[in-house]
Structure 1
């Protein structure tokens, strides 16, 4: 009876699984063979067995046959307890029953960064050593569905991979690192490229920590690049015609030497302050005179001899202009018009001038490496050629090891040098910071920008074309590495190996006048096309995180700087961006059931999909009927929207060209606003300021067709919004002004929060429920959310200049302090709750 109970099979699933695991983890034992002579007490034993002599030799074959059962049992136990990659040790029929006995699945063995969601459905997405285990763990139904009914084409009949990839790039372009990004990040079509938006893993906070404490890399090779060639005086005039007059001229001596890059804004020629296109980066090619070259060769000459001498007036110079890819046609057209205007003025003197405008997109790769550890990562990943390097570069490269932040380097400085093939120095080792032993730690880098340091062969198109295809493939480099006696040692560069010219540019994302947060500093690495994957694998192996478009935008948001094009209203690129986003949001809202979506008409949101800047500025009348109502049916919505759109188009055509919105920005914005606030006629004062800036660049003054009041009324100003209480603003939130009485109540509650938080919250209970009228909207938030660096809600938006002047006057009326903060109310488009916020003007 007891034996029958032991042999009974358990009916519960957990018991069966437990018994199965117990049997799989038990080593089988062979029972002793039965003898012919037996007694009642058991098998008989011969008395002379102990006296048998021990054999002097053992027959291996007979001994293995005698112990065959124990050997097979031990192998089976190894297979069931821990999966062995060498399946040849055990026949297929032996390890088939024990496949489910392992405690970990094939995908749990992999490190986290190699796991893929598709791997659970396709065993070919796992490494080769685990594919057999993955196939064994698959569902039999799924395994059968993956079976191919038709055989694969032979290798000779298969189309090449480059032909396959070219077919996918008919309406867009791929970066060289596209396949690497596509395996790890979410991709979208943007600005004519297929770009990475965000990593598939949860990388929002880790990416922010990497930019603050470590390093993060962004492939910016999609940015447009244009080359200008011509006489220096002509190029200087071309840039001054279309660049922002508030900022330093790109033709200033500090930039024409080629030791720094110039960050400015480009407008349509002679159209300032209207027709802003985008921010640009201007870079001049550094050139050395004969005296500077001799001084650098000697190495012991005086410092004055090493400086670059001014070039002759008719000397040909080269300028690179880097900008956002969404406005390539606008920038190219503006530069071409500027060249035409300058050449017309120059041709009056019967002199022949030739200026070349060339598109060099795709000829260089651009990596942005941000974070305090970016210097050590570049120091460990790159291997410069020191044979032909100058003394200044050797000093710069030596100090780069102990640089704790690139923010201590002179802003926007350029360093050009030549490096060996990065694949020879794999795996890279990051440089370690060695802090000085003295009591005083220098916060600045004792290397000044110079032409000797900025000279680089990357400007030569012939050199770039010769390096477009690496001389050796990665397979050949690995074969050389496999012949090393000591594994992991670096390869010595040969004379036939490639030497790549690169440029390092100091990059900072910061608003120096905004003291609420710290900036993010790093380097921009520029190198010839064809080497993106070589540098990417070298840099990512150091532990550097890789950023997509979302992480790249977050860096500017955390630093308090505006991001193009989302934070540039009144620009054509912003209109395209806002229209695309509005289409997506409206489509998502339409798919949502009426009971689950927000009724924007009921809560009083006038424009839920796209900011109506013309209505806020007073250039257009608000719509008489709400555009979105849940009570109306879908067929009724279509005629209403078409009528509104037709009305907008007709109204826009009636508005004069000079009456359209324009964005006031630059380092002098705050001083300009203070001057306008003190003037009795701010419109006339603004017109005078604009004419002075235009005269500074030899541009004609604004004529009588533009009225001073229209210029003032159509101006927008970028602002920072900091929430005073809980919550964080989101995109398209509305910014309201408040009456003096309500502002005083908000200020009383804010003061009580500082002294007594509990009492202050009581004061705030009724104020947020006061819904202001749509007429008090003074602007919109373009980028908002929770700021990780500040620990509170933060946003970047834009308000009208006239309302900003009124808020400045309101501060003097309500507050006793002249420099008190400007307060506004912020309301999300999806709710009625209002929040108090501080407003500050953006100057960068």
Structure 2
């Protein structure tokens, strides 16, 4: 004890023994975790795998020794790599061959393997596509689209290219596109894209095929007319040429050679291609009759697989793109420099003109990996505002339109391992690579994309990124490293639902693919219902549900029932008082009234005494505007009105969230006034004694809900459906009698027993 000091400085003693104290604390923590947690339980949730306990290679390197020690010795010996039998060299299958063998009946996107590891996949429209992430991400994906950014690989969409004289291409589009569209001439400069609908050639308003997006290739700066290209050589693949073989020295008067891209849903690719092919034949015949001594030719090509398309939605999409992409240094367009310098300060693309196109050329995004999001400077008053950037043809210039340059970029010059080797030679780790002359320069298009309704405040805005094929994973790795979420088909459809706009094909009745889509869905739901025990499933017969598996629009419209072999979906035996009188006139056809001018059309029709004559006059006015003949005189106005459907939004008067295929019932004036009086009461008092009521008769069904759920952006139930035009006109007259602005109806789920009041709002697109 004599050698011990009389006093001790605690601070100095602790500093001197800091290493031993820290080691003791770590030992205590490690010992506690080793007894209560296994290796994979210490991982964060996003790194956990179901098979982690059976394969140590699925565990991070720092925990593999611990995981290997925790394995059962018998399993360790069986699962050991050295114990696996090996094939002989003659029987070994190349990895590329094995992956191609799995794509015999469907196609994979370039990002398929990345998606397949993280998302649930299904065969859809000839592709193997991601449906939804495996993790619970419904609400996080919605928050990302509203407050952050979310990415969707839409490279599966169909792309068709048309080349030919400008006036003939314009005539082709006028024959088959929606005549209500007013932005055709504005989009011909190439500075904007045009979103419209495509119909059968000359069949408007019948034979609706699908929504499409039209993109014109902008002419070079200072060019107003380009010479006609020589006819392409015979035997070109994936291309159809329409024209007369008669040669002429001069091209079509006052027409330049233009290129147009038409993007559509992959399920209707053949229908869209055939419609454009027939329209081109009609346009060329008309041109030949006007100018018999003029040679004209058009080329229609299938560009599926030539480009990749990413949809990046959300207010932070601009900062993600600005941080992940780097334009080339030799960019000399002042308009693009102004736009790119102000892109980081863009809080939302809603402030930009709709459909604006920006063409650019960027460096290999892997050179800048890992990227960093651009910072939003909100306090800088002198920062350039992107709202001052207007669409211009020179701003939309891009080399991605050139087929030769796209083909040259199908395979990157350098692999990832080559770039990693260059990165390892940097003196400072983590610094971006300096671009070399040999590095690729990728042309791309940046298109403003908005999902919004004119009368709604719940829009979702972002960008569409189009770049050549072969660069899918290069761009995806950089974009998702910035914290951007990735969504599948469910997330894309939810964005349209939250924005309050229809989504193809589920919300487009009377189209060909709508029938196929709902037929397949009806078979799946009915098979699942039949597998469910009777005590655990809804009894649709007792509930009084007329058509539980699909919407019977023929019965709602009063048309003859189609003999399609699905008679079991619609019960044939109904009570006489509930059976609607079916008109057996064969001239009545089901069709959908859709377009931006629908509110104006419906307003004019409602003011006329004869609604059918007013509707026919408006349809013929739009047909004449596009140079089409008026509808055949044999088509009676009352038949046209009787077969017309129109899309509506369903806004609940109180609580409740309509489900898919919920019935929409009409009500009489007395019941409507009763609901109007009750809506002014407090919600608790009005719903305290809520009791089921008798199911309304089948004859009062005026429509069905095509998409319905609880809307996260609205905080209440919301739905999109369709009703006959004739029924909507009657409901609007009833609303005027009751002093309401919107028609009032009742909604009942197909498996529900309670009817709830709701307003119908015209869905203007």
Q: Is 2:205 aligned against 1:262? A: no
Q: Are the aligned partners of 1:223 and 1:323 in contact in 2 as well (CA < 8 Å)? A: yes
Q: Is 2:395 aligned against 1:464? A: no
Specify the alignment match of 2:217 in structure 1.
285
Q: Are the aligned partners of 1:243 and 1:249 in contact in 2 as well (CA < 8 Å)? A: no
Distance 1:312 1:411 in 2: 33
Q: CA deviation at 1:315?
A: 1.6
Q: CA deviation at 1:290?
A: 4.1
Specify the alignment match of 1:375 in structure 2.
318
Residues 2-31 of structure 1: CA distance to partner in whole angstroms, max 9, x if unpaired? xxxxxxxxxxxxxxxxxxxxxxxxxxxxxx
Which of 113, 117, 123 aligns to 1:179? It is 113
Q: Are the aligned partners of 2:338 and 2:384 in contact in 1 as well (CA < 8 Å)? A: no
Alignment of structure 1 residues 608-647 onto 2, 5 Å? 608-620=548-560
Q: CA distance change for structure 1 residues 388 and 671 in 2, over 3 Å: closer, same or farther? A: closer
Q: CA deviation at 1:836?
A: 0.8
Which of 625, 628, 642 aligns to 1:696? It is 625
Distance 1:627 1:697 in 2: 41
Q: Is 2:726 aligned against 1:805? A: no
The Cα RMSD (Å) is 2.9
Q: Is 2:48 aligned against 1:115? A: yes
Q: CA distance change for structure 1 residues 374 and 688 in 2, over 3 Å: closer, same or farther? A: same
Q: Are the aligned partners of 1:240 and 1:249 in contact in 2 as well (CA < 8 Å)? A: no
Q: CA deviation at 1:107?
A: 1.5
SS at match of 1:134: helix
Distance 1:525 1:404 in 2: 18
Which of 687, 700, 703 aligns to 1:761? It is 687
Q: Are the aligned partners of 1:408 and 1:443 in contact in 2 as well (CA < 8 Å)? A: no
Distance 1:451 1:389 in 2: 15
Q: Is 2:435 aligned against 1:503? A: no
Q: Is 2:674 aligned against 1:750? A: no
Distance 1:528 1:444 in 2: 26
Q: CA distance change for structure 1 residues 147 and 784 in 2, over 3 Å: closer, same or farther? A: same
Specify the alignment match of 1:411 in structure 2.
354
Which of 161, 165, 173 aligns to 2:95? It is 161
Specify the alignment match of 1:659 in structure 2.
588
Q: Are the aligned partners of 2:216 and 2:261 in contact in 1 as well (CA < 8 Å)? A: yes
Alignment of structure 1 residues 417-456 onto 2, 5 Å? 417-438=360-381, 445-456=387-398
Q: CA distance change for structure 1 residues 601 and 593 in 2, over 3 Å: closer, same or farther? A: same
Q: CA deviation at 1:79?
A: 8.6
Specify the alignment match of 2:711 in structure 1.
787
Q: CA deviation at 1:367?
A: 0.3
Distance 1:622 1:495 in 2: 65
Q: CA deviation at 1:823?
A: 1.1
Residues 452-483 of structure 1: CA distance to partner in whole angstroms, max 9, x if unpaired? 11100000000000000000000000010011
Q: CA distance change for structure 1 residues 453 and 312 in 2, over 3 Å: closer, same or farther? A: farther
Q: CA distance change for structure 1 residues 387 and 441 in 2, over 3 Å: closer, same or farther? A: closer
Q: CA deviation at 1:441?
A: 10
Which of 708, 719, 735 aligns to 2:664? It is 735
Q: CA deviation at 1:655?
A: 6.5
Q: Are the aligned partners of 1:370 and 1:522 in contact in 2 as well (CA < 8 Å)? A: yes
Specify the alignment match of 2:159 in structure 1.
225
Specify the alignment match of 1:151 in structure 2.
85
Distance 1:802 1:584 in 2: 33
SS at match of 1:118: coil
SS at match of 1:454: coil
Residues 198-232 of structure 1: CA distance to partner in whole angstroms, max 9, x if unpaired? 00111110111111111000000000000000000
Specify the alignment match of 2:257 in structure 1.
316
SS at match of 1:379: helix
Specify the alignment match of 2:18 in structure 1.
none
Q: CA deviation at 1:248?
A: 1.7
Q: CA distance change for structure 1 residues 809 and 113 in 2, over 3 Å: closer, same or farther? A: same
Q: Is 2:529 aligned against 1:589? A: yes
Which of 324, 336, 340 aligns to 1:393? It is 336
Q: CA distance change for structure 1 residues 77 and 211 in 2, over 3 Å: closer, same or farther? A: closer
Alignment of structure 1 residues 530-549 onto 2, 5 Å? 530-549=470-489
Q: CA deviation at 1:821?
A: 2.2
Q: CA distance change for structure 1 residues 167 and 752 in 2, over 3 Å: closer, same or farther? A: same
Q: CA distance change for structure 1 residues 110 and 659 in 2, over 3 Å: closer, same or farther? A: same
Q: Is 2:6 aligned against 1:82? A: no
Residues 59-112 of structure 1: CA distance to partner in whole angstroms, max 9, x if unpaired? xxxxxxxxxxxxxxx9999899639xxxxxxxxxxxxxx9x9444322133332
Q: CA deviation at 1:130?
A: 3.0
Distance 2:353 2:26 in 1: 62
Q: Is 2:535 aligned against 1:606? A: no
SS at match of 1:355: strand
Q: CA distance change for structure 1 residues 618 and 379 in 2, over 3 Å: closer, same or farther? A: same
Q: CA deviation at 1:747?
A: 1.2
Residues 506-548 of structure 1: CA distance to partner in whole angstroms, max 9, x if unpaired? 000000123xx32111110000000000000000000000011
Distance 2:190 2:734 in 1: 47
Q: CA distance change for structure 1 residues 538 and 292 in 2, over 3 Å: closer, same or farther? A: farther
Which of 725, 736, 750 aligns to 2:654? It is 725
Distance 1:133 1:519 in 2: 50
Q: CA distance change for structure 1 residues 137 and 269 in 2, over 3 Å: closer, same or farther? A: same
Alignment of structure 1 residues 237-248 onto 2, 5 Å? 237-248=171-182
SS at match of 2:534: coil
Alignment of structure 1 residues 492-571 onto 2, 5 Å? 492-514=434-456, 517-571=457-511
Q: Is 2:613 aligned against 1:681? A: no
Specify the alignment match of 1:773 in structure 2.
697
Q: CA deviation at 1:444?
A: 6.3
Specify the alignment match of 1:574 in structure 2.
514
Specify the alignment match of 1:304 in structure 2.
none
Higher-RCO chain (CA-CA 8 Å, sequence separation at least 6): 2
Q: Are the aligned partners of 1:770 and 1:834 in contact in 2 as well (CA < 8 Å)? A: no
Q: Are the aligned partners of 2:342 and 2:384 in contact in 1 as well (CA < 8 Å)? A: no
Which of 634, 637, 654 aligns to 1:708? It is 637
Residues 422-466 of structure 1: CA distance to partner in whole angstroms, max 9, x if unpaired? 00001101110112545x999861111111111000000000000
Alignment of structure 1 residues 355-370 onto 2, 5 Å? 355-370=298-313
Q: CA distance change for structure 1 residues 174 and 653 in 2, over 3 Å: closer, same or farther? A: farther
Distance 2:127 2:441 in 1: 29
Q: Are the aligned partners of 2:547 and 2:571 in contact in 1 as well (CA < 8 Å)? A: no
SS at match of 2:504: coil
> Which stretch shifts more, 592-601 or 182-191?
592-601
Q: Is 2:742 aligned against 1:821? A: yes
Specify the alignment match of 1:210 in structure 2.
144
Which blocks of at least 5 consecutive residues in structure 1 are unaligned?
1-49, 51-73, 84-97, 294-310, 629-636, 645-650
SS at match of 2:395: helix
Q: CA deviation at 1:642?
A: 11
Distance 1:122 1:600 in 2: 48
Q: Are the aligned partners of 1:231 and 1:313 in contact in 2 as well (CA < 8 Å)? A: no
Q: CA distance change for structure 1 residues 77 and 138 in 2, over 3 Å: closer, same or farther? A: farther
Distance 1:472 1:653 in 2: 68
> Which stretch shifts more, 781-790 or 240-249?
240-249
Q: Are the aligned partners of 1:421 and 1:498 in contact in 2 as well (CA < 8 Å)? A: yes
Residues 321-350 of structure 1: CA distance to partner in whole angstroms, max 9, x if unpaired? 001001001000000000011111112232
Q: Are the aligned partners of 1:80 and 1:101 in contact in 2 as well (CA < 8 Å)? A: no
SS at match of 1:401: helix
Q: CA distance change for structure 1 residues 154 and 692 in 2, over 3 Å: closer, same or farther? A: same
Alignment of structure 1 residues 51-70 onto 2, 5 Å? none
